[in-house]
Amino acid sequence: MSERTELLPGSFCWPELATPDSPKAKAFYAGLFGWTPVDVPSSGGTYTFFQLRGLDVAACRTLSDHEKAQGIPSYFMTYISTASTDASAAKAAQLGGKVLFGPFDVEGVGRMAVAQDPGGVVFALWEARGHIGARLVGEENTLCWTELVTTDPEGAKEFYSGLFGWTWKASESSPMEYVEIHREGQAIGGLLPMKGKWWADVPPHWMPYVFVSDCDATAAKAAQLGGGAAVPPMDIPDVGRFAVLRDDQGAHFSVIAMAPPPGKA
């Protein structure tokens, strides 16, 4: 059980799916992770919370007509907590980023803004005023890791260190260049530099990881539900087995089954 009742600033707090067809998305994630959709009315239409055991783990909203007209695809938005959305939004702009929307209040549960870092990666700032975000994390079928995939790793480090006070540590286990994101000494996410031809058609992004017990079975289930694997299941030595999946409307996310501790295989 990994229930959260509070969230400290600079923490990953919420993966939010924006999708063209919310009913289809609700069926896909219910089938894949057992998430229960709970619809609530909002000023922009229906907003859906995904829950496990009655606790929020993620959310879903329908892409607006304006977003659809612009050709914006289905995607997951990463929310990062802050003590003050207004102060963090101003700081993001000072550090070379952009504030795309807000800050604005969200119906009495929080205050948010949508920002973009200097490398073009979009994320949301969240100041909780009644809703902290995901209440379950780090257990099966919940968010366990968030990864920045960027063409400008050094610029990203400078920006996010200034904005959230994060520190960075080169991974000792990854076979590729990889940097862990640390908040007050605790690893909370990672940074993967985009190098090589493989990334040619992939925009920089934040990637949510969901913890699963069986990576291969989850990838197979995603395919059965109409999705698929952008990166098929593969091992990360001494870490686990992961895959990058897409849902039936094209949103990408990762799953990982952690390797057992040494001596417990």
Residue written as token pair 């289930």 = 221
CA atoms within 13 A on the CB side of 147: 20
Report the DSSP beta bridge partners of residue 66: none
**Within this chain, domains 12-128 and 143-258 share the same CATH topology:** yes
Residue 80 sits at φ, ψ, to 5 deg, of -125, 130
**Residue 173's pLDDT is what?**
62
Whether 245 contacts 255, CB under 8 Å = yes
DSSP for 102-114, written as a single string: EEEEETTTEEEEE
Domain ranges of the chain: 12-128, 143-258
* Long-range CB contacts for residues 214-222, cutoff 8 Å, separation at least 24: 214/257, 215/240, 215/241, 215/242, 215/243, 215/255, 215/256, 215/257, 216/241, 216/243, 218/32, 218/243, 218/245, 218/255, 218/257, 219/243, 219/245, 219/255, 221/31, 221/32, 222/32, 222/246, 222/247
What pTM did the predictor assign? 0.93
Q: Answer yes or no: CATH 3.60.15.10 is held by domain 143-258.
A: no
**Residue 265's pLDDT is what?**
46
Mean pLDDT in each 10-residue stretch from start to end of the chain (265 residues)? 81 95 97 96 85 96 90 94 98 98 90 97 95 90 96 96 96 77 94 81 93 97 97 91 96 93 51
pLDDT tens digits for range 108-132: 789 999 999 999 999 999 999 988 8
Q: Which two tokens stand for residue 45?
A: 């239409």
Domain 12-128 is in which class? alpha beta
Cis peptide before 103 (omega within 30 of 0): yes
